[in-house]
Amino acid sequence: MKQRISNLETYLNESSNDSYELLKSVLLDKKGKLKTEYTDYIYNSTSFTYNKKEDRFEWRLYLDRGENPKEFLLNIIEDFNSKKDGGLEDYFREKVQDAYMEIEFEIEKNLINATAKYLSEIGIESYEYDDIRELIVYDYFMIDFEPIFKTIYRTDVQVALVLNANDDMNYEGYNNLISDNDNSVTIKEITQKGSSWGWLLKSQGYTPKQLQNAIIEEVDEGKFINSCRKEIRNMSYGGFITFLGTMTIKDFLEIKSSVKGRSSITVSKDCTCGIYGPYNGSGSILGIELEKNIQIPYNSDKWRLDLDNYSEMGYDIQDVFSLASAAFKGGIW
């Protein structure tokens, strides 16, 4: 859009066509710059999100063709996984470029219509659609797409990394914790070998015995264990340990598409952590306070990665918690 408006400004200044003299007088200021009232009108009249403070259009301009940008990403993953034809990065570049070219035509149409409407509102009716189009039409094949692609590829998305999402035994183990009698807590069951709780405790340098002391004996075992106790006591029905954070589109696509070369997924200790029940829409307070970064084996089948408001398991994280962006505060890569 900015490129087209810049072209329009240049064209009007350089054109010797007498038929454009009226346009020059109403669109350009004395310095030959497009008038602010015109550019503001254009930006406010189109269907695209313009960030005036940073003087740029949001990244989703290049993806959103009437579908949610996150659906666009998920569709790319599904298509790539079904074909496995070539490299993921090249496949994503091709798909995003196709979407970008489609949106270029939409930009042109929006800009022409908004300009025609602007002229009409200030009392100028002498220019037809094709007259305005001649000023605005842009050579799509001259676009340097690579910087656009790199910006998109590095863009962060909000994600939920859910542990043991396919482990029914672990899920049922949580339900045994729901009781008015703390002595009924079966610590052994939820920290059994291979369980996400046992693994999480070990990753932070603690033992199941310390969690048991905190829950049953009210022993102060430090920030991490105490936050685990609060999380368990505030469960509504059951769920899975979940990490919330941000991840680049590049990492998200690679992990979801099982790209070779990775050995682990890293979860920053700054990530929000807590219990989330995707199958029943339950959860706790998302208050577990991590003390160390976490490494999750990449080839494990004990985790699932979802976008913040898209889940293959039922209720997504936003259905359950309605979270603000601040909740996705740490990095996952």
DSSP letters for 140-163? GGG--HHHHHHHHHT-EEEEEEEE
CA angle centred on 203, ends 210 and 255, rounded to 5°: 145
The reported pLDDT for the residue numbered 242 is 94
Compute the distance between CA of residue 314 and CA of residue 4 in angstroms, rounded to an integer.
Answer: 44
pLDDT score, position 321: 93
Instruction: Return the residue matching tokens 């002391």.
Output: 213
Query: What tokens were used for 294?
Result: 């976490």
The HSE-up count of residue 26 (CA atoms within 13 Å, CB side) is 15
Q: State residue 302's pLDDT score.
A: 77
Q: φ and ψ at 33, to 5 degrees?
A: -95, 145
Burial of 69 (0-12, 13-18, 19+ CB in 10 A): buried
Q: Please, are residues 252 and 159 in contact by the beta-carbon 8 Å criterion? A: yes
Distances (CA, A) of 225 to 177, 214, 267: 16, 7, 18
Residue pLDDT tens, the chain, 333 long? 566 667 678 878 887 777 778 888 888 998 989 888 888 777 666 555 555 565 544 434 344 444 456 677 777 888 887 776 668 888 888 887 777 777 677 767 777 888 888 888 888 887 887 877 777 665 554 566 787 778 778 888 899 999 876 554 344 444 444 333 444 445 666 666 667 888 899 999 998 889 888 887 788 889 999 999 999 888 877 788 999 999 998 999 888 887 777 888 999 999 999 999 888 888 899 999 999 999 988 876 778 898 888 777 788 999 999 998 899 989 999
Q: Report the run of H or E that residue 304 belongs to, with start and end.
A: strand 303-307
* Cα distance between residue 283 and residue 119, in whole Å: 55
- C-alpha 303/C-alpha 325 separation (Å) is 22
Residue 67, pLDDT score: 47
For residue 243, the model assigns a pLDDT of 97
Sign of the C-alpha dihedral, residues 200, 302, 155, 288? Answer: negative
The residues pairing with 248 across neighbouring beta strands, listed in sequence order, are 156
For the residues of 238-266, what is the DSSP string, one character each?
Answer: --EEEEEEEEEHHHHHHHHTT-TT--EEE
Distance of CA 4 to the CA centre of its chain: 28
Yes or no: say if 49 and 58 are a contact pair by the CB < 8 Å rule. yes
Reference 266, options 253, 278, 277, 255; nearest CA is: 255
Nearest to 190 by CA among 228, 234, 244: 228
Check residue 143 and give its pLDDT. Answer: 60
Mapping DSSP to helix (H, G, I), strand (E, B) and coil, where does residue 185 land?
A: coil
